[in-house]
């Protein structure tokens, strides 16, 4: 395991300290939070931890089943006690960009149902202003190019220019989704989410000064299913560094 993976593992395991028996736990998606899922499975097997998990993606569901975490549908539960997830960026106000793994819609549904949100990350995700990581926006395939045009207008109005690219999976080849053609490069197919949608990656640069207003405006575009801005949700961040795991808590958050 290289240094970067070791740091991710340390943060993922440390975040498990917020979980105790009897809890209903949202299980995020991504390479860092995968270590959290594995550690929770170990605690169930070796320490008798009793929890119910709600996965945010098919990949996380598969991993949770492999390590023995009992799962339930979110609708069967009266909310969650906590969700533990990763992030692609976070700013000093604990606002996040998520969606690099393509699970932003399910992740936000789960996060909104939780009494607290804990993020696991490494130091590269800490920024002063959001946007250096391309902002993912999940959209429905119908008239996707018109939705892209509207998104570009909204971004420009909020001082966030830059290119917008359709996320691709080269291994798929030229793809057609539900009869809708996408202009893909030869050998570069379309990435399709677990919900049957596609993702636009908005290369705005670090220009997102008001993520709350931008999220609200983007969600007003009819073809937008969800935006990868997670505002006013995160309560604590377990941040991996070579010196150890730092715990950052939002001063007015639910875990303060």
What is the average per-residue pLDDT within 201-211?
97
Note the pLDDT tens digit of each residue in 116-170: 999 999 888 999 999 999 999 999 999 999 999 999 999 999 999 899 999 987 6
What domains, with CATH codes, occur in the chain?
3-123+231-243 (3.40.50.1360), 135-228 (3.30.70.260)
Active-site residue (options: 39, 61, 89, 107):
107
pLDDT of residue 170: 60
Among 82-96, 185-199, 242-256, the minimum mean pLDDT is found in 185-199
Of the pLDDT bands very low, low, confident and very high (cuts 50, 70, 90), residue 185 is very low
Q: Is 107 a catalytic residue?
A: yes
pTM for this structure? 0.92
Region of residue 196 (left: phi > 0; alpha: psi -120 to 50; beta: else): left
**CB 250 within 8 Å of CB 94:** yes
Average pLDDT, the chain: 92
Q: What is the sign, positive or negative, of the torsion defined by CA atoms of 203, 206, 210, 212? A: positive
- Written as six digits, the tokens of 113 are 């149902």
> To the nearest 10°, the Cα dihedral for 91, 101, 254, 128?
0
Residue 78 burial (CB < 10 Å; 0-12/13-18/19+)?
exposed
Q: Return all residues near 251 (Cβ < 8 A) that are at least 6 apart.
A: none
Q: Are 247 and 254 in contact (CB under 8 A)?
A: no
DSSP state of 46: H
């Amino acid at each position: 395991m290289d240094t970067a993976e070791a740091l991710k593992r340390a943060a993922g395991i440390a975040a498990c300290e917020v979980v105790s028996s009897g809890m209903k736990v949202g299980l995020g998606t991504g390479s860092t939070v995968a270590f959290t899922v594995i550690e929770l499975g170990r605690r169930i097997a070796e320490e008798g931890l009793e929890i119910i998990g709600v996965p945010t993606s098919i990949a996380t569901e598969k991993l949770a089943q492999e390590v023995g975490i009992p799962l339930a549908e979110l609708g069967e539960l009266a909310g969650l006690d906590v969700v533990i997830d990763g992030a692609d960026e976070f700013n000093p106000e604990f606002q996040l960009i998520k969606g690099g793994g393509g699970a932003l819609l399910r992740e936000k549904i789960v996060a909104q149902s939780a009494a607290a949100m804990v993020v696991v990350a490494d130091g590269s995700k800490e920024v002063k202003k959001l946007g250096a990581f391309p902002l993912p926006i999940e959209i429905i395939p119908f008239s996707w190019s018109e939705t892209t045009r509207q998104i570009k207008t909204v971004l420009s109005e909020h001082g966030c220019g830059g290119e917008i690219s359709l996320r691709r999976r080269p291994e798929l080849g030229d793809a057609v989704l539900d009869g809708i053609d996408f202009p893909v490069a030869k050998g570069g197919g379309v990435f399709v989410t677990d919900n049957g949608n596609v993702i636009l990656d908005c290369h705005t640069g670090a220009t997102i000064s008001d993520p709350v207003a931008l999220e609200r405006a983007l969600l007003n575009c009819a073809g937008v299913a969800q935006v990868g801005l997670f505002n006013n949700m995160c309560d604590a961040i377990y941040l991996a560094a070579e010196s150890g795991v730092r715990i950052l808590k939002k001063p007015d958050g639910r875990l303060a």
